[in-house]
Copies of this chain bind each other. A is one copy, B any other.
């Protein structure tokens, strides 16, 4: 070849690789390591809530006899541990989604579930419908398939079916699915009400597309009455999960802890069978040992962990809302979530949240995620996401006061 420059492989990369960019969230995670930074950035569960003693007991029990340990440390089936899938199926049934283990695929966190669904549905140029803003990790998971995003209109909207179809055809693709985080959405904290869920299902039915329901935060409701899962509404209408257009992505990361890397997809048997092939090709199987520990936790302390998380994060949300009311200038507004981990803030139009972040970290040692990262089209420069899940109450108070001082100095 003779010549070698800094990026010798650029001509050999797939076109998708050139579209994948570093995640601000992941980069910001590094800030958490610096103890003087108060981080409202990542949606990081509070480790003081992790059921560590139960985790110790679960690993001890799982590894107790040699034959059992040998099985859990071996290759295992791609669809996941049957006993864990049984537990998840019962958990889903209790939500009004009657199903069995054949409707469940175990994934390495719900992030992997989203990545698999992108692979299953999206060819380059196809359209994914999503709220704007929406979960950055979903945009990243889908990006490898080079899709186009169109804004899903729920509530009063002038979007017609033809406007969705025409926009998709303009990039030589079809509308392939609608993606939503219906409960306490990442990043906005907003929950879809019942009319919005009905509108979502009607739109999906008319466009003949599946709906991906990302339920990462669903268990963490502090107050108010829960609307049924979108999947439960569709199963009720269709009569069976196997005729449902809704694909539910669940995770143990927020109720137990992220480190096990165990989530799941609940969907029609036909779709699960397709996803099992994708799982095989992607990483063969998730750790059987970690699946066994997840099952132990699910069987012994799921409800207790949900109650613990709700109580703790509710107090933290209240503290952040109080601090915002006390410290923020009147030109700033924010959402009031009924659960989950996030508050969404809107700054005056002329402010740029990325500039604000640079100053906030440098001058006040406080961090958040600029909202623009959550918009596929680069909108939202004057928005930002605050997470109250990780810092303690004192640091929530202190961090919001610091952030308000930086904003007032602008």
Residues of A near any B CB (own CB < 8 A): 1, 4, 6-9, 11-17, 20-23, 26, 29-30, 42, 44-45, 47-48, 50, 52, 55-56, 59-60, 63, 66, 69-78, 107-109, 111-112, 115, 119-124, 126, 137, 140-141, 143-145, 174, 176-177, 205, 208-210, 243, 245, 253, 257-261, 270-271, 274, 277-278, 280-290
On chain B, the residues within 8 Å of A17 by CB distance are: 119-121, 274, 278
B261→A283 contact, CB < 8 A: yes
- Scoring A17, A20, A22, A74 by chain B CB atoms within 10 A of each residue's CB, the highest score goes to A74
B176→A12 contact, CB < 8 A: yes
**Bound CA–CA A216/B71 (angstroms):** 21
On chain B, the residues within 8 Å of A15 by CB distance are: 123
- The 3 A-B residue pairs with the shortest CB-CB distance, nearest first, are A47-B70, A73-B259, A140-B281
A377 to chain B, nearest CB (A): 19
A74→B55 contact, CB < 8 A: no
On chain B, the residues within 8 Å of A112 by CB distance are: 282-283
Which residue on B lies nearest to A21, using beta carbons? B277
B74→A63 contact, CB < 8 A: no
On chain B, the residues within 8 Å of A145 by CB distance are: 14
The contact of A174 among B12, B56, B281, B288, by CB within 8 Å, is B12
Q: Taking A12-B209, A63-B55, A111-B283 as contacts, is the C-beta distance between A259 and B74 under 8 angstroms?
A: yes
